[in-house]
Structure 1
Amino acid sequence: MRIGVWGGGALGLLWAARLATLYPETVLVTRTREQADAVQYEGIHVIGQDGDVEQIPVQAVESNKVTDSFDVIMLMVKQRDFTTAFHQALSTCTPDGVVVCWQNGVGHDAVAKETHHTQEVYGAVTTEGAWRESMTTVRHTGTGQTWMGPLLGKREDHPSSLRSFIDRVDRRWCPVALEDDIQPRIWRKLIINSVINPLTALLEIENGELLRLPDAVALIREALEEGVAVVRAKGFRLEVDDIFNEVKVVCEKTATNRSSMYQDLMRGQLTEIDWINGGIVKEGRAYGIPTPIHETLIRLIHIKEKRNRR
């Protein structure tokens, strides 16, 4: 089975290294030639949670130079790059292959739905943590669970290639489960990200610091109430107390992590705020549910984006 890992960020590096030990023909597809050449030459250095470093040989290629065909593609790019990457990935995926989308937030499902394809499109949600230290080095910062399921509708007859793939990864690396409907998982993670990401980015603090700021904790609770109201209107069962406790657990487990949104702002890049908090606001308007806190967080992040990109 040929596996393509599309995207050289933290999770892309981590999963490309993992999969290369199971499927030697795994290829990391990067945005730049510089990163592809570096990985091709050095391999990927994975720093474990115990501090040990493992160097794993991995094939790599720039995205516009891909000539291989893949049976399964792990599409791990940012939401802002999704549309282009999705079409590129489809063109290199076998007609009966599977593309697994790992994006934060929502909106990528609409792109997939509007695009003609014969391949199966799945979504993935993970609680694992990783930090990219360089083009070829990734630090595994937190263990967790991963779920995969059909992105465009419920189904129980999952592709045998994906079942086989998940079984091997689950036994060798980390817990991975198949879901018949991934949307509840996507929205649950979106609600969590909608408070941790923008607040840590605006306050310029690590995740664990949020819990030590009473005003931030109060704001988290109020924002969660908005988000949960929207999700419940969509038909997903979610309780504010449960998700609030989950936010606290995530902050504690990733206490020394900088959220992806915080990292984006540090690099002067655009964030995924429009696909995370923006998803809540958009759905809130559709259901007539006010979301003033999320609207304010979006405005503040956009202000900071413009300031940092000057």
Structure 2
Amino acid sequence: MATVVIIGSGAMGSVYAGLMQDAGHEVHGVCKWEDHVQAVQENGLRVTGASGDRTVRLASFDTEVRDLPQPDLLIIATKSFDVESAAESALPLIGEHTVVQTIQNGLGAPDRVANIIGGDRLAIGVVGGFGASVPGPGVAHHNGMEMIRFGSYGTLSDEEIERSAEIWRSSGFEVKTFSDTDQMVWEKFIMNVAFSGTTCATGLTIGQVMDNDTAWWVARSCSEEAIAIAKAKGITLDVGDPIEHVRGLGSKIPNAKPSMLLDANLKRRCEVDSINGAVVDEGRKLGIPTPVNEAVSNIIRARELTYLDASERTPATV
């Protein structure tokens, strides 16, 4: 069995940790939510939802990286704006055979991780269709587990990618590996763009967005702007009709609240700059209008103004 370290063991990271530990791997989790960490230390980590209901004792769970072994697999599962600090903390753990997988929503995080740890041991990860949340300290819930995808950022061999993917497969995840990581990322990104900002702006679940003509117009338009950018960049989207692909993924987790909505409800900083805001940035570079993503991004930034200190806010684009 493998040794795994997960930096960023919030909702998604806790699901990974629970299923991997349950499969017999040695899993060490790191999470900055002190109440979650304390509950897991005292009572174990409970994971409920699509994979069943289980409570496991992790090898360790702490708020910081402390005296951890060099793992076979190191997963950076933080929010996109926390990847630099996570990568810095991971540096002492990266051994000659460690595979580092960075898994974030949106665009740009792998480059920022590579700037710190280099690209030689780095893989890009994309996951989707989980609808994960932390309903209470010590508990992670997920509505599904649809998409796990990995590809090499730089020079990791196919063998090394497959070795790390097998850790996931042995834990009950269905994994697909990609050589074209732009395709891998953007096939998920067009779904993130559709639902993350729209649910955060409206307070609706994914299913409610799809059932509401007005909200669905916003979600579809956000995705269509991203699809236009992918086409202009020459990125392959091998999903048939992209909008039907987005609806198909969304229909599998209709009750889910994307992490951007959950973060806003908890008065935390949102990842709008790497999702809907990233569409705006890419559109400006290419001369492609993105008015719906710009409006949604600034609605969310305005919402952040009501609860974040100035130093924590996502920069405005107006």
What TM-score results when the alignment is normalised by the length of structure 1? 0.90
Q: Which residue number in structure 2 is paired with residue 143 of structure 1? A: 145
Q: What letter is aligned with 2:278?
A: G
State whether structure 2 residue 57 is matched by structure 1 residue 57. yes
Residue in 2 that maps onto 1:301: 300
SS of 2:136 mapped into structure 1 = coil
Deviation digits for residues 85-122 of structure 1 (CA, Å, limit 9, x no counterpart): 11211222214311101100011122134235375111
Q: Give, in whole Å, the separation in 1 of the partners of 2:238 and 2:68.
A: 47
> Which SS does the other structure have where 2:106 is aligned?
coil
Residues 226 and 24 from structure 1, CA distance in 2 versus in 1: closer, same or farther, beyond 3 angstroms?
Answer: closer
Alignment of 1:154-169 (within 5 A): 157-160=157-160, 162-169=161-168
Q: Is the 8 A contact 1:90 1:119 kept in 2?
A: no
Partner of 2:289: 290
Report if aligned partners of 1:2, 1:23 keep a CA contact under 8 Å in 2: no
Within 5 Å, which residues of 2 pair with 1:172-191? 172-191=171-190
For the 8 Å contact 2:7–2:77, the answer to whether it is kept is yes
- Of 76-85 and 289-298, more deviation after overlay is shown by 289-298
Question: Counterpart amino acid of 1:303?
Answer: A
Deviates more, 1:268-277 or 1:61-70: 61-70
Over residues 16-62 of structure 1, what are the superposed CA-to-partner deviations in whole Å (9 max), with x where a residue is unaligned? Answer: 11111334421111225553343233211111338x53111112122
- The whole-number CA distance in structure 2 between the counterparts of 1:115 and 1:158 is 23
Measured in 2, the distance between the counterparts of 1:24 and 1:107 equals 30
Corresponding residue number in structure 2 for 1:223: 222
Deviation for aligned residue 1:135 = 2.8
Deviation at 1:138, TM superposition (A): 1.1
Q: CA contact under 8 A between 2:123 and 2:156: conserved in structure 1?
A: no
Structure 1 SS opposite 2:268: coil
Give the stretch that moved more between structures: 80-89 or 116-125. 116-125
For residue 147 of structure 1, report the CA deviation from its aligned partner: 0.8
Structure 1 gaps of 5+ residues are none
* Identity, % of aligned positions: 23
* Alpha-carbon distance change, 239 to 120 in structure 1, aligned in 2, over 3 angstroms: closer
| 4+ residue runs over 4 A deviation | none
Letter in 2 for 1:198: G
Letter in 1 for 2:157: D
- CA 22–304 in structure 1, closer or farther in 2 if over 3 Å, else same: same
Change (3 A) 1:31 1:119: farther
Q: CA deviation at 1:265?
A: 0.7
In 1, the alpha carbon distance for the partners of 2:106 and 2:65 equals 26
Residues 198-219 of structure 1: per-residue CA shift (max 9 Å, x gap): 1111111111111222122223
1:208/1:255 contact within 8 Å kept: yes
CA distance in structure 1 between the aligned counterparts of 2:157 and 2:240, rounded to whole angstroms? 34
Partner of 1:246: 245
In the TM superposition, residue 251 of structure 1 has moved relative to its aligned partner by 2.6
Which residue identity lines up with residue 256 of structure 1 in the other structure?
Answer: N
Which stretch of structure 1 is more off in the superposition, 64-73 or 83-92? 64-73
The alpha-carbon distance between structure 1 residues 16 and 198, as it changes in their structure 2 partners (threshold 3 A), is: same
SS at the partner of 1:256? coil
| Residues 1:207 and 1:93: Cα distance change in structure 2 (over 3 Å) | same
Query: What is the aligned residue count?
Result: 306
One-letter amino acid of the counterpart of residue 272, structure 1? E
CA displacement at 1:168 relative to structure 2: 4.5
Which moved further from structure 2: 189-198 or 34-43? 34-43
Answer yes or no: is the 8 Å Cα contact 1:228–1:239 preserved in 2.
no
Tell me: CA distance 1:109–1:214, structure 2 relative to 1, closer, same or farther (3 Å): same
2:254 maps to a residue whose letter is A
Q: Secondary structure at the match of 2:306?
A: helix
Q: 1:123 to 1:17 in 2, by over 3 A?
A: same
Rounded to whole Å, the distance in 1 between the matches of 2:119 and 2:79 is 23
Q: Per-residue CA shift, 1:138-197, capped at 9, x if unaligned? A: 113113131111134xx683243x423422432540211221122212122122111211
Residue identity opposite 1:147 in structure 2: R
Please, which moves more after superposition, 202-211 or 231-240?
A: 231-240
> Which letter does structure 1 place at the counterpart of 2:256?
N
Q: Structure 1 counterpart of 2:206, which letter? A: N
Which residue pairs with 2:204 in the alignment? 205
Question: In structure 2, do the counterparts of structure 1 residues 219 and 25 end up closer, same or farther at CA, with 3 Å as the change threshold?
Answer: closer
* CA distance in 2: counterparts of 1:193 and 1:24, whole angstroms: 30
Q: What SS does the aligned partner of 1:28 have? A: strand
Question: Structure 1 residues 208, 33: CA separation in 2 closer, same or farther (over 3 Å shift)?
Answer: closer
Q: Secondary structure at the match of 1:36?
A: helix
